[in-house]
């Protein structure tokens, strides 16, 4: 059996940056909290917890003072920073530079739209940490569009400016953008703010999935990016299997394949894919 790990899979730059910040401080013995799961992969979260990283939610955060808190790559709304300044919390900002720049663009655009009574639209997943952070730049007044049925919220007579969550699929972005252009009669600007490091994984994923008899896709259950990329794998290679840990590996189903590819989401650590590869080689 030939086992190959996709060398283009695994953590994106933003996640690597946040985890490196956490590891550096933890090695120094610094007590730090992380606001939300540092990455949508439970095994990686548990690994860092064993090093001393304590994950908290927003309710817990707004009860803290005099401590250090790591912000993950997804970004945070302004209220998180305001509370930190008021309560002597040192923020270790692991916000992805791509997300941070987008937050700044959204804030400026929202301020510019106010005099014209315009509407700002965010294409993305409702409740996702990045969208919450972006919406915070608009005083939580942005219109969040996740799918077609959400388009009814849009006023077709208002000037409209559209941004996208950085991890939105390009296909979804183009489809929803076209529908917005068709329905809005006023001035409309649509900004493609999708991270290309993530978007370029789609054609690579299709190519990789076609090269092997079977695909093991490794991802945390919470990762929306993982679910989207797995569906792409499955559409190209029906023998694609989604697993979150090595215990879910169904070795009996894989014994007859000559070539198995291992890949994952932008939130999947390489050590986890290496672990799966070693198990497969033992077959």
* Residues annotated as part of the active site: 130
The Cβ of residue 122 has, within 10 Å, a number of other Cβ atoms equal to: 26
The answer on whether 195 is annotated among ligand-binding residues is yes
225 assigned to a ligand binding site = yes
What does the alpha-carbon distance between residue 89 and residue 259 come to, in Å, rounded to a whole number?
Answer: 51
Residue 34 known to bind ligand: no
On whether 212 is known to bind a ligand per the annotation, the reply is no
CA 239 to chain centre: 25
Cβ burial of 87 (10 Å; 0-12, 13-18, 19+) is middle
Residue 128, annotated as binding a ligand: yes
Tokens at 267, concatenated: 């939130």
Q: Is 67 annotated as a binding residue?
A: no
**Dist CA 119 CA 143 (whole Å):** 8
- Annotated ligand binding at 244? The verdict is no
Task: Determine whether the annotation assigns residue 74 to a binding site.
Answer: yes
Residue 126: CB atoms within 10 A of its CB come to 13
Q: Which residues of 146-175 are buried (b: 16+ CB within 10 A; e: fewer)?
A: beeeebeebeeebbbbbbbbbbbbbebbee
Annotated binding residues for dimethylallyl diphosphate: 40, 74, 128, 223-225, 267
Annotated binding residues for isopentenyl diphosphate: 40, 74, 128, 223-225, 267
Annotated binding residues: 12, 40, 74, 96, 128, 166, 195, 223-225, 267
């Amino acid at each position: 059996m030939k086992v190959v790990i996709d060398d283009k899979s695994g953590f994106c730059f933003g996640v690597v940056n946040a985890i490196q910040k956490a590891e550096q401080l933890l090695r120094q013995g610094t007590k730090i909290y992380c606001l939300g799961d540092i990455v949508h992969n439970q095994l990686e979260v548990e690994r860092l917890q064993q090093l001393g990283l304590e994950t908290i939610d927003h309710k817990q955060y707004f009860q803290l003072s005099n401590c250090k808190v790591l912000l993950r790559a997804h970004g945070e709304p302004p209220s998180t920073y305001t509370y930190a300044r008021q309560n002597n919390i040192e923020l270790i900002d692991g916000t992805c530079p791509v997300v941070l720049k987008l937050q700044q663009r959204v804030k400026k655009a929202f301020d510019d739209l106010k005099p014209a009574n315009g509407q700002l639209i965010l294409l993305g997943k409702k409740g996702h940490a990045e969208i919450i952070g972006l919406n915070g730049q608009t005083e939580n007044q942005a219109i969040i569009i996740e799918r077609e049925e959400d388009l009814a919220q849009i006023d077709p007579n208002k000037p409209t400016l559209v941004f996208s969550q950085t991890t939105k699929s390009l296909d979804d972005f183009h489809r929803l953008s076209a529908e917005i252009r068709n329905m809005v009669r006023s001035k409309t600007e649509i900004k493609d703010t999708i991270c290309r490091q993530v978007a370029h994984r789609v054609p690579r994923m299709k190519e990789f999935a076609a090269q092997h008899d079977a695909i093991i896709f490794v991802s945390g259950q919470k990762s929306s990016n993982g679910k989207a990329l797995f569906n792409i794998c499955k559409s190209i290679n029906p023998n694609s299997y989604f697993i979150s840990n090595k215990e879910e590996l169904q070795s009996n189903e894989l014994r007859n394949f000559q070539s198995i590819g291992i890949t994952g989401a932008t939130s999947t650590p390489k050590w986890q894919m290496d672990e799966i590869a070693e198990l497969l080689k033992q077959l």
